[in-house]
Amino acid sequence: MVTLLSLAPELLHEIGYKLDGSQNRELRTVCRQLNNALEAMALSTLVINLNRNTAKASIDQLQAYATKSTRVGTYVHHLEIRCLAPAHDPKSRETQNRFFWPYIPPPTSEDIVVERQLRGYLSLALASLTNTQSVTWCTSFQDPKWVNDTVQDFLKTLTGFKHFTLNFHGGFSGDLSLDCVYDLKKLTVSGYRDSHAVKDQIAGIIAASPALDHLDIDIGTFPQDEYSPSLQKFLLRIHAEIILPITHLNGRCLRVFFDDKIIRHFRSLKSFNVCYHEYDSLIGSTWHCFQTEHIHLEEIHVNITHISSSLIDYLTSNYKQFASDFYAQVLPKHCESLESLELRPAAPGSWCFSDSLSPAFKSCQRLKELAVTLDFCPVSNIEGTNGLNVVKRTASALPLLERLIVYAVDGTYREPKLIFDSSIPTP
């Protein structure tokens, strides 16, 4: 496609002339169908970034949406608002120091003209984005009050709005209000500073979103400590009868611990980010809580320097539980059809063959190939020749078995060692 687009129009005409009329019409129809299908995909994201460097292009963009001279407003599913401050100069050194003082440069005459145009187009442009499902809003201390009001009014009109990202890295003005946001499935907050007003508004969004399953609160780049805002503060406004179905939690730099009041929201948790978490007494209790509540994570993000014995205990408990579930619930359901089974764990434990598991293997009467692993760790109950004999006795009860393979692990976490591989003649 890139090659065709790079051709000169004259050459494309020449190609068209070599086709007859019906072929040209068919080609035109195909191209139109491709355009209709791909246009919506290519234009599904709209980025608004108005500052001193982008003023003309941004105003032209907003004018096109406001006057509906383009029909692509309905294609937009994700809106990203990066900046709506005509006086903002991203190259200014004072602006780059916004974390230390709220420097607002005086508006020039051109800035005043641009803001007047922005007032005329912004509300109408946003109103054309009727199918918006996801919004990213990068707030700024330079945002005029009327800009905040306009964006907030727009958010109130959205019916399919489910994903909301708030970026506070540019600061925020005191008149910011988020009462218009509710019924989310995904909420992301980054660059957050410990402001009681903002914290309460975020808590309000969470309380008004009973189907929320993705919660990401990143309070910044500073390591979490005992004075950092806690996860509990953001969940205080949830009614007692509501249980959030949260599967993803990012509490980077946040003080995260789970007590009886909030653990009910995290029993379906699958992904957990607790990086830059240095309050060890809390994180240790977290892993213990997950183990007690049988919360089985699929993804964990933690600083390697903060890996603790409580985390190892939690991971080990999952390892044991999965093995028990497999032998007790999964294997029996496939015993009548299973022909090949290989179990080769890299570490000693519940996945290794033991005398108590022999009945589970014997029930698989159609097995032709079987590979198991023995636990040669000093604390195991099966060692050396005795363990191999138990495996052989189990294999003798499988009438169709053609091959038996036995590995061994010894607690060094090396590759399992092959200790037996034999073909078994069928009767």
DSSP string, 237-290: TS-TT------EEE-TTSB----TTTGGGGTT--EEE-TTB--HHHHHHHHHHH
Counts for the chain of helices (H) and strands (E), in that order: 14, 13
- 314 by Cβ neighbours in 10 Å (0-12 / 13-18 / 19+) ranks as buried
**pTM of the predicted structure, to 2 decimals:** 0.73
Assign domain 42-96+107-316 to its CATH architecture. Alpha-Beta Horseshoe (3.80)
Quote helix, strand, coil % in the chain, to nearest 5.
40, 20, 45
Residues 318-361: pLDDT tens digits?
A: 777 788 888 998 899 999 999 999 998 877 788 889 889 999 99
Residue 208 in contact with residue 182, Cβ under 8 Å?
yes
- pLDDT score, position 384: 52
| Residue 101 banded pLDDT, cuts 50, 70, 90 | very low
- pLDDT score, position 276: 64
Domain coordinates in residue numbering, the chain: 1-41, 42-96+107-316, 335-423
| Residue 295 structure tokens | 């919360």
Residues 197-224: pLDDT tens digits?
A: 788 899 999 999 999 999 999 876 555 5
Residue 286 in contact with residue 258, Cβ under 8 Å?
yes
Residue 236 CA from chain centroid, whole number: 24
Strands of the sheet containing 369-375, edge to edge, are: 340-342, 369-375, 403-409, 417-423
Q: How far apart (Å, rounded) are the C-alpha atoms in residues 151 and 169?
A: 18
3-state DSSP of 11-72: HHHHHHHCCCHHHHHHHHHHHHHHHHHHHHHHCCEEEEEECCCCHHHHHHHHHHHHCCCCCH
| Residue 114 structure tokens | 């641009």
